Amino acid sequence: MRIIKIFKITLSSIFTIFITSQAFSAENMGAAHPWGLNLREAFSPVMAEMVSFHNWLIWLITIISLFVLVLLFIIIFKFNTKANPKPTKTTHNTFLEIAWTAIPVLILVIMAVPSFKLLYKADVIPEAHMTVKAIGHQWYWSYEYPDHGNFTYDAWMVSDAEEIEGQDRPYTRLLTTDTRVVVPVGKVIKVQVTATDVLHSWAVPSLGVKKDAMPGRLNELWFQADREGIFYGQCSELCGTNHGYMPIEVHAVSEEEFLAWIEEAKENYAKVGEDLNLAKVKE
Ligand SMILES: [Cu+2]
């Protein structure tokens, strides 16, 4: 019975990978799900392209692997000592050697063209609607909204569902933060990424973004959330003890909701350079 169950799971996994493009819940969330397979659901045009490029490569890899497997079986069965007691003395075949060099090169070129196109698309920031600055710290993120009053706030991981009780958002273990990054849906958002202490990395898989946060350097990335939803991410550069506990929670909301949040945030959060909780040097 157990074997049948394992067989069923394996079979359904294979079908999930090859037949459905995505295996995710309808909760409209950029988070991993129990028994989820494949890449994270795409919520941005770049991620959508990454997913389809990945799926296309899977097919290509499968065809190549099957071809090699067939060749291996031909060798094993047709050219073993029993079946082929007198091996041929042929050592070189110019045509074959050119072919098995040129064809893989050609395959690599075919793969490289869409790959570079996508890399370029992800790298070059289109005209941005607004900028968010993400700053990595050991071990939390802080954010600044330079285009909307230049306020700043910290985002720490929430370790208990009770901490966000009464708020209209789900609690996701190790991924929910006390404050959120809120952005308008459908707009190009530029994120400037940096750090104050060690290397961190701001990564949100469902938006297809990941960029190192380095002290003294300003990196940039962009995304455009094409649907409203919550997208989770995590620090993706090993940065110390609590590296796994500095998640990212991005909410893409309607323009009205975003503006309402901005007004609230201006009230609640400090302005960059003012009222910051800097340690006092002299008492
Ligand atoms: Cu980190």
From residue 101, give the alpha-carbon distance in Å to each of 4, 57, 108. Answer: 44, 20, 11
Whose CA is closest to 151, among 262, 279, 278? 262
Distance in Å, CA 198 to ligand 1 centroid: 8
Cis check: omega of the bond before 139, within 30 degrees of 0: yes
Given this structure, which CATH class describes domain 130-269? mainly beta
| 122-178 pLDDT per residue, tens | 999 999 999 999 999 999 999 999 999 999 999 999 998 888 888 888 888 899 999
Distance in Å, CA 174 to ligand 1 centroid: 14
Distance in Å, CA 175 to ligand 1 centroid: 14
**C-alpha angle 254-256-258 in degrees, rounded to nearest 5:** 70
Q: Identify the pLDDT of residue 172.
A: 87
Distance in Å, CA 5 to ligand 1 centroid: 40
282 Ramachandran zone, left/alpha/beta (phi>0; psi -120 to 50): beta
Distance in Å, CA 168 to ligand 1 centroid: 27
Q: How far, in Å, CA of 57 to CA of 42, rounded?
A: 17
Q: Identify the pLDDT of residue 21.
A: 41
Q: Identify the pLDDT of residue 11.
A: 60
The per-residue DSSP string of 156-173 comes to -B--SGGGGTTSSS---T
Distance in Å, CA 91 to ligand 1 centroid: 55
Distance in Å, CA 24 to ligand 1 centroid: 27
Distance in Å, CA 199 to ligand 1 centroid: 7
On the CB side of 41, how many CA atoms lie within 13 Å of its CA?
Answer: 22
**C-alpha angle 247-251-252 in degrees, rounded to nearest 5:** 145
Q: Identify the pLDDT of residue 12.
A: 57
Distance in Å, CA 93 to ligand 1 centroid: 54
pTM over 0.85: no
Q: Identify the pLDDT of residue 163.
A: 86
Q: How far, in Å, CA of 206 to CA of 268, rounded?
A: 29
Antiparallel, parallel or unpaired: β 130-137 and 189-195: parallel
Q: Which residues of the chain have pLDDT under 50?
A: 18-26, 280, 283
DSSP alpha helix (H) spans, the chain: 2-18, 45-78, 94-123, 255-268
Distance in Å, CA 52 to ligand 1 centroid: 29
**C-alpha angle 226-167-244 in degrees, rounded to nearest 5:** 70
Domain boundaries, the chain: 130-269
Q: Which residues is 132 bridged to in the sheet?
A: 191
Q: How far, in Å, CA of 200 to CA of 240, rounded?
A: 9
Q: How far, in Å, CA of 47 to CA of 201, rounded?
A: 18
Distance in Å, CA 246 to ligand 1 centroid: 6
